[in-house]
Structure 1
Amino acid sequence: MAISFLRILPRVAAVIACASLTAPASAQPAYPSGPIRMVVPFGAGGLTDILARLIADKLAANEGWQIVVENKTGAGGNIGAADVARSRPDGQTLLMGSIGTNATNPFLYKTMPYDPRKDFAPITMAASGTLLLVCDPNLPFRDTAGLIAYAKAHPGALSYASGGMGASQHLAGELLKSTAGIDIRHVPYKGLAPAIPDLLGGRVSMTFDMATALPYVKQGRLRAIAVANPQRSSALPDVPTIGETVPGYAASAWYGLFAPAGTPQPVIARLNAAITRILRTPDLRERLIALGAEPAASTPEEFGRFVQAESDKWSKVLKAIDIQLD
């Protein structure tokens, strides 16, 4: 009996080992376990919002997931980002972040309700946006050199709109002020979409945006002056960059998805795979290009390194121009 038992003991151990390996996998809850909340920390109608809704619709169609896009605005995106940072790290709450919420706000605000480096897990970069400098067509200049000359002759007369303190338009405008040595007033809005009526009505002089401004440029209701990005836009190849007139000038917008820190790695990988597949589809690419943006799928690791590099770059710029917000 003892010999017989010893002979079958290895088989019994193997069965137990297999059971122990398969049990945790079968016990893992399905992801997602319910609706996913995607927080957009800016107002409806801007590129951040449009991008989030395009991705949400694609995820619903391709994966069968229910995505609820929620606009939670305020404090340059800090309110919405902080809400995600405090959420349970289960992948059910995501942030459509930006250069402001995840790279530059710590260098703009005296106090922060979250730490971009510690409180978020990067999922993927989603898109890079073109910052097109557009102005009221009634203004007496048509290019960057003319704008600078007018601003120097009329200090403080020109104003530029942004989607909020620390938004990419704000950074682009402040960088132009410092590099060109001009005085232009910043007018922040809760998202860029509400600024467009004031721009069309001549109550604000200009802004940096492609997504919401491009249709009005095509209609002749706004004038395209230059592109803030390092390279010209494929959507408007004849429009020069600001850097062609002001050496060293370059600013761009970017957007990406984040989860709360501590979200399990398998969930991050699942989200990354699903979203990067979407970003590589031809129809989404065409839609983004039409809006003045380019899809920019990445691995979580690549996106993390990119965000760190952007944070390092803009920290130096912001310290040099000495912007500090409450």
Structure 2
Amino acid sequence: MQRRNFLARLGMFASVGAIGTIGLTALPAQAQADKFPQRPIRLVIGYTAGGSTDVPFRVLADNASKILGQPVIVENKPGAGGVLPAQMMQNTAPDGYTLAQVAMPVYRLPYTTKINWDPVKDLQYVINLAGYSFGLVVPADSPIKTMQEYIAYAKANPGKLTYGTPGALTTLHITMEELALNAGVQFSHIPYKGNSESMQALLGGHVMSVADTPAWAPYVESGRLRLLSTWGEKRSARFPNVPTLKELGLNIVQTSPFGLVVPKGTDPKIVQKLHDAFKQAMEMPNYRESLAKFDMEPYYMSSADYAKFSADTVKKEKAIIEKLGLAKAQ
């Protein structure tokens, strides 16, 4: 009898110990969320240093560092059309210490590349930050002086009108092919590694036109390049005399919104802290000023709105990719 009582008591203590262990493992996770961040945060972007993505992100990171009380360090991972940061999140700890920029090409990955993750389900959306400004330029001495003449040349010379972009299946490539489809013409795409390379190719006469973010702006202002169109909902404040694709009747608006994500499974409290910090950071005047240098504007979306936007965009990209015949073979 004494032995049975002893074993019963031992079992009771074991149960209490197990409960205590569960409690102890749960408490640190809660404490980590409450005390977050306690070390530097890495912010990975998909484009090269010094460009229209990198410069505003460095201002934003500096602003967020002051709010969060820890350094926010920008890391450049260019290549593959800007999708590498989002892909990295699939093998990153969901602790809030690594954020990634999500660019539009991420949403067409399921239809153009074989991947084993889902851009909607396998990323946790934090905040949308801004949208790009795009435009199409030709050399100043080009005989093509308007967008109408650009289309007319393509009709008269099928497949001979070349244009450069930062890469195949980027938003710029897809939009130019959509433009060709809508206008009933055929262009010839020349992919480059970035806008510094494409600008030199255009200035050197190796390509007839370039579609890109405003890396072309200084050349347009100096008179070396001619801007034929911009792609926003309204005309550019910097180039108010240049028409949009929409007002030219080409039925395209493209600003390619981008924002931040963390790995799936990140504590919602940490996601909220990051959202609040970056929202405050993007509302600071210096961030808006950094965007204005590239003719861009802030474009805020909450975590929930950004997640919905991603789900809607994946569906839209599927339709465009299939329409253009660019979907990967099944």
Verify same fold: TM over 0.5.
yes
Structure 2: distance between partners of 1:49 and 1:202: 28
Greater Cα offset, 122-131 or 163-172: 163-172
How far residue 297 of structure 1 moved from its aligned partner, in angstroms, is 2.0
Number of equivalences: 303
Contact 1:46 1:191 in 2 (8 A): no
User: Which of residues 25, 48, 51 is equivalent to 1:46?
Assistant: 51
Structure 2: distance between partners of 1:57 and 1:216: 30
1:90 aligns with 2:95: yes
- Structure 1 residue aligned with 2:17: none
Contact 1:46 1:212 in 2 (8 A): yes
When residues 112 and 42 of structure 1 are mapped into structure 2, their CA distance, relative to the original with a 3 A threshold, is farther
**Gaps spanning 5+ residues in structure 2: where?**
1-22
Contact 1:104 1:311 in 2 (8 A): yes
- Structure 2 residue aligned with 1:10: none
When residues 105 and 221 of structure 1 are mapped into structure 2, their CA distance, relative to the original with a 3 A threshold, is farther
TM score, norm. by length of structure 2: 0.84
- Structure 2 residue aligned with 1:220: 223
When residues 247 and 52 of structure 1 are mapped into structure 2, their CA distance, relative to the original with a 3 A threshold, is same
How far residue 200 of structure 1 moved from its aligned partner, in angstroms, is 2.2
How far residue 276 of structure 1 moved from its aligned partner, in angstroms, is 0.7
TM score, norm. by length of structure 1: 0.85
Contact 1:132 1:210 in 2 (8 A): yes
1:76 aligns with 2:77: no
User: Which of residues 272, 275, 292 is equivalent to 1:272?
Assistant: 275
- Structure 2 residue aligned with 1:181: 184
1:151-230 equivalent positions in 2, closer than 5 A: 151-230=154-233
Contact 1:124 1:258 in 2 (8 A): yes
How far residue 272 of structure 1 moved from its aligned partner, in angstroms, is 0.6
1:28-67 equivalent positions in 2, closer than 5 A: 28-29=31-32, 30-67=35-72
User: Which of residues 109, 118, 121 is equivalent to 2:121?
Assistant: 118
Contact 2:125 2:303 in 1 (8 A): yes
Deviations 1:175-212 (A, max 9, x none): 11111122212122233333222122222222233431
The percent identity for this pair of structures is 31
Deviations 1:205-263 (A, max 9, x none): 22233431212211112211011223222332221112222342332222111111111
Structure 1: distance between partners of 2:86 and 2:189: 23
1:323 aligns with 2:326: yes
Contact 2:83 2:103 in 1 (8 A): no
Structure 2: distance between partners of 1:167 and 1:52: 20
Deviations 1:71-115 (A, max 9, x none): 2233323333211222011111111111112x2222222x02532
Find the residue that maps to 2:257 and give its secondary structure: strand
Contact 2:138 2:144 in 1 (8 A): no
Contact 2:49 2:76 in 1 (8 A): yes
1:100 aligns with 2:105: yes
- For 1:293, give the aligned amino acid: M
When residues 25 and 87 of structure 1 are mapped into structure 2, their CA distance, relative to the original with a 3 A threshold, is closer
How far residue 325 of structure 1 moved from its aligned partner, in angstroms, is 5.4
* Alignment RMSD: 2.2
Structure 2: distance between partners of 1:95 and 1:193: 23
